[in-house]
Amino acid sequence: MSDAESLSGSETTDADGAAEESTSTAPLRVENLRKRFGGIVAVDGASFAVDAGSITGLIGPNGAGKSTTFNLITGVERPDEGRVLLNGEEITGMSPERVVDRGLVRTFQIARELPEMTVIENMMLAPKAQLGESLWRSVLPGTRGRVVEQEEELRERAWETLEFFDLDHLGEEYAGGLSGGQRKLLELARALLTDPDVLLLDEPMAGVNPSLERRLLEHVHTLEEEGYTFLLVEHDMDVIMNHCEHVIVMHQGRVLAEGQAAEIRENEEVIEAYLGGTV
Ligand code: ADP
Ligand code: MG
């Protein structure tokens, strides 16, 4: 309970937020989400909020309901009950495309890269963001003043994004030739082209070698500092403990615990859930 209360935005120094709902500063919030598949309750009243400009980890033993929660947030599945709020507005039940338009993207939600096409061509296939003011624009130094064709501006932005990820030298290569780790970077690069506020990452480190993993995490931290918000499902506990400010633990479709990584590591119920569960 006290953990949930500490998340409720009470630490905001912004006085004008006080009149609004208590968690209005959280770009992503889910309330009492519930989803049943036949006799199985995959998500059973899950509520949590994800703070702006943070990396939050979502963990739990196999079958805890993490993937279903991601599906409910991204519009892949419709909840039986509960709400999903993005920047304070309800997006519950919206199609995945509309959810992306609203500013929330899950990396693998974007179609997989096409191996027969070049990296830059794959970038151009990402769902198109609205051009103009955007968080991404503010990350890249110096806006171009000239008026350009939209396609040209998108291409330019795609190249800048590749450059940010040190992938520009691979821009004209076939995507099929990329390593697993480079593919993960490309996935993140393509997700950024949709101009999101919130990114959901589903096991971004799976199959990534240690040096690329470090690079990927550095990029995530840079983006976090720029104001992007990340919710991360990751099985590698070292990644969770070392890179997430806040950790949410799901178990049997519910939020079992949440708090700082160090607290979570010591939490008896969490230890029990992992040891006693079907991990
Ligand atoms: P996690 O990602 O934490 O491992 P899931 O969300 O994948 O957990 O699954 C939660 C529970 O819901 C599991 O018991 C799983 O078998 C069940 N489940 C998930 N998706 C479906 C589905 N489409 N149909 C039936 N059962 C499902
Ligand atoms: Mg899963």
Per-residue pLDDT of the chain (279 residues; tens, 9 = 90+): 444 434 444 444 444 434 344 445 799 999 999 999 999 999 999 999 999 999 999 999 999 999 999 999 999 999 999 999 999 999 999 999 899 999 999 986 555 778 999 999 999 887 665 555 456 655 655 544 433 457 788 899 999 999 999 999 999 999 999 988 888 889 999 999 888 999 999 888 877 888 888 888 999 999 999 999 999 998 888 899 999 999 999 999 999 999 999 999 899 999 888 876 444
User: How big is the chain, counted in residues?
Assistant: 279
Q: Examine the domain organization and report whether 205 and 109 are in the same domain.
A: yes
Q: 190 in a domain, yes or no?
A: no
- Lining ligand 1 with CB less than 6 A are 37, 40, 42, 60, 62-68
159 is a domain residue: yes
In a domain, 183, yes or no: no
pLDDT at residue 11 in the model? 41
Structural domain for 80, as ranges: 3-113+195-275
Residue 233 CA, closest ligand 1 atom number: 2
Mutation to probe ligand 1, out of 33, 34, 40, 231 (largest number of atoms < 8 A from CB): 40
Q: In angstroms, what is the span from residue 64 Cα to ligand 2's centroid?
A: 8
Q: How far is 144 from 161, CA to CA, in rounded Å?
A: 15
In this structure, the answer to whether residues 134 and 200 fall within a common structural domain is no
Q: CA-CA distances (angstroms) from residue 179 to 120, 122, 176?
A: 16, 15, 8
Question: What is the model's pLDDT at position 213?
Answer: 87
CB-based contacts of 136, cutoff 8 Å, min separation 6:
129, 157, 161, 192, 193, 195
- Count structural domains, the chain: 2
Tell me phi and psi for residue 150, to 5 degrees.
-55, -45
- Whether residue 157 contacts residue 87, with contact meaning beta carbons closer than 8 Å, is answered with no
User: Residue 126's pLDDT is what?
Assistant: 75
Smallest-distance ligand from the CA of 60 = 1
Q: What does the pLDDT read at residue 18? A: 40
**pLDDT at 36 (0 to 100):** 98
